[in-house]
Chains A and B, each alone.
Chain A
Amino acid sequence: GAVVSQHPSWVICKSGTSVKIECRSLDFQATTMFWYRQFPKQSLMLMATSNEGSKATYEQGVEKDKFLINHASLTLSTLTVTSAHPEDSSFYICSATNPRRVNEQFFGPGTRLTVL
């Protein structure tokens, strides 16, 4: 299998606070994980690529100091949205690649973030 989970599935926070989202590969070790953001009725936009034990690679226009990514183990990556603002409200989705199926990305169920 290739199951990816995310926690929490939804979160509401106040403006200025930080929110941490976890992405776990449940039945495989993921050397690479990806973080996407999806606004309503829009496609997935890649934010960053996360490799275990190294710094994440951010896409152009994504603030690395605002979106902190940690990939501490082969089964866990975290995205922390720091000092969140209402414009950060979105659907955040992670994916992971299984080394045995390198051309496929397996997606988590997503985390809906609402910043008040």
Chain B
Amino acid sequence: QKEVEQDPGPLSVPEGAIVSLNCTYSNSAFQYFMWYRQYSRKGPELLMYTYSSGNKEDGRFTAQVDKSSKYISLFIRDSQPSDSATYLCARHTGGGNKLTFGTGTQLKVEL
């Protein structure tokens, strides 16, 4: 079982839709969780990180962590074509600063 699992998509939604992106993880020792956005042929860009259960909101983005079910989600409200990218979730154990990434979900927001 991979440490962090993500549905690769592609996920296609109309402009303005609410997008839900999800990851599951297997190791309860994971402390921090990140969401990165990666445009084609570019490096990942950090969107949000959280280290506790519950929700964290930043503009149109909401990150949600459920440690009891080992499930993390990213919600995008009022999605825009510019949101079309690959979204990567990652876990961070704290010590060593290493990140383990999921495979990424490709999102397409269509006009």
Q: Which of A42, A43, A104, A108 contacts B43 (CB 8 A)?
A: A108
B17 at the interface (CB under 8 A from A): no
Would you call A106 an interface residue if the criterion is a C-beta within 8 Å of the partner chain's C-beta atoms?
A: yes
Within 8 A of A (CB), among B32-61: 32, 34, 36, 41-46, 49, 51
The reply to whether B103 and A42 contact each other, CB–CB distance below 8 Å, is yes
In the complex, number of A-B residue pairs with CB atoms less than 8 Å apart: 53
Residues of B with C-beta under 8 A to A4: 43
- Beyond A43-B104, A103-B32, A103-B97, whether A109 also contacts B42 by CB under 8 A is yes
Return the contact of B101 from the options A6, A41, A44, A112 (Cβ within 8 A): A44
Q: Which residues of the other chain, A, contact B103 by a CB distance below 8 angstroms? A: 42-43
Within 8 Å of chain B (Cβ to Cβ): is A75? no
Q: Decide if B99 touches A105 in the complex (CB within 8 Å).
A: yes
Query: Given A43-B88, A104-B46: A110 and B97 within 8 A (CB)?
Result: no
Contact between chains at B43 and A93 (CB < 8 Å): yes
Interface range on chain B (Cβ under 8 Å from partner): 20 to 34
Q: Are A93 and B32 touching (Cβ within 8 A)?
A: no
Interface residues contributed by chain A, number (CB under 8 Å): 24
Give the complex CA separation of A44 and B88 in angstroms: 9
* In the bound complex, CA of A105 to CA of B32 (Å): 12
Q: For A93, give its contact among B44, B46, B102, B104 (CB under 8 Å).
A: B44
Closest A residue to B8 using CB positions: A41
**Given known A-B contacts A103-B32, A104-B49, A44 and B44 have beta carbons under 8 A apart:** yes
Chain A's closest residue to B92 (CB) is A103
What's the Cα separation between A110 and B36 when bound, in Å? 15
Q: State which of B51, B98, B102 has its C-beta within 8 Å of the C-beta of A43.
A: B102
**Extra pairs beyond A6-B43, A43-B101 (4, CB < 8 Å):** A49-B96, A102-B97, A103-B49, A103-B92
Chain A residues near B (Cβ < 8 Å)? 4, 6, 32, 34, 41-44, 46, 49, 91, 93, 95, 97, 102-110, 112
